Homo-oligomer: A and B are copies of this chain.
Amino acid sequence: MPRTKRGNAPSIRDVAAVANVSVPTMSRYLKDPERVSEKKREAIAAAIEKLNYRPNPIARALALDMSESITVMSADTRLYGRTQTIFGIERKAQEIGYPITICVLDPRGGEHMLSSVRSCLDRSPAGVILIDFDRLTDSVVSRIPASTPMVIIGGPRHERRAQIQLCEYDSAYAMTRHLLALGHETVHYVSVPADVDARADGWRMALSDAKVPAPAPIDTTWDAEDAVEIGRRLGGNPSVTAIFAGNDEVAMGLMRGLALAGRRVPEDVSVAGFDDHTLSKVWNPPLTTVRQRFTEAGEHAVALLKEQIDDVVNDRRRGEAWTMFDLIAGDLVERASTAPRRR
């Protein structure tokens, strides 16, 4: 039966007393047994056996001066890419035996957000994974000490930190070229909220390389319902034959709006999304999109973070996992929502 109260359980101190070693020696032993002499190791092992000592994770964290939990910092965790990324983090963290703590960045931003960051750091996490699909990090990253293991997923490049990129620019470029290759004269872009949108940049550059003037991008929210009205409006303009949406949920809202405007997908208008949302393939018609490897990114972030944590625990010189910049490319998935332009 697990206990939540440990009143009668032996402490590190008890074990140290029975083994006749100091508490700092016990701390060293818990951190890295190799740093304690063989004689003391044996004495401690015997004391642990004798007292039936079971390490208290909180006491151990205090001894190691760090907690054994990985903190995941993210804004709104309900959004699709984040849910999938966090799932990958959970799965890998469970595999290596670290619990994860979710630190939700205050959506009001500014001082509110920094205050949520501070309160997470006060708990001395073993490491931090920052999900930066909102590109909020400049202010957050500078608050996290360089000595704290950290991996950033998404966002602008921070040279001195480990970071994983999902190649959104390249994927958006490829999708736009794909739509142009289907004979569409131009591609309209409907953007999800982001301070600097790599997807928009890829779209713009693809049009520019093809010498096609870029229509003004249209901003929308994370709520697919807001895209319905945009789809209806674009559907009223017969010159619109191809739309690229910043994510799949927006693409789904646009398709609903186009239907309300009496325009068929893909016969009248091609619509492409981004992410490969689980519902994309059952949409009617199934959605052409870019598959983002969110779960893989989450798992890889934990693997990189673990290397950094091991460096700290073993007092090693920092290895390359601290500044690694890894790219995880997306895939263009062609389904039934895009088609050659009808003349």
Contact = CB atoms under 8 A, between A and B. Distances in A.
Nearest to A107: B91
Nearest to A67: B58
B5 A278 contact: no
A238 interface: no
A90 B102 contact: yes
A64 to B, nearest CB: 10
Nearest to A88: B78
A104 interface: yes
Interface string A57-81: 1110110011101000000111000
A78 B69 contact: no
Contacts of A284: 255-256, 259, 284
A117 to B, nearest CB: 8
Nearest to A91: B104
Interface stretch (A93-101, A168-176, A180-188): A93-101
A116 B224 CA distance: 36
A256 B91 CA distance: 31
Contact of A2 (B58, B67, B116, B122): B122
Given A94-B104, A124-B4, A145-B4, A278 B249 contact: yes
A135 interface: no
Contacts of A147: 4-5
B91 A87 contact: no
Interface string A241-253: 0000000010011
A158 B103 CA distance: 30
B58 A123 contact: yes
Interface in A249-305: 249, 252-253, 255-256, 259, 278-279, 281-284, 286
A134 interface: no
A223 interface: yes
A78 B84 contact: yes
B67 A77 contact: no
A103 B77 CA distance: 16
Contacts of A7: 65
A15 interface: no
4 nearest A-B pairs in the assembled complex, by CB-CB distance: A2-B121, A256-B282, A253-B282, A224-B282
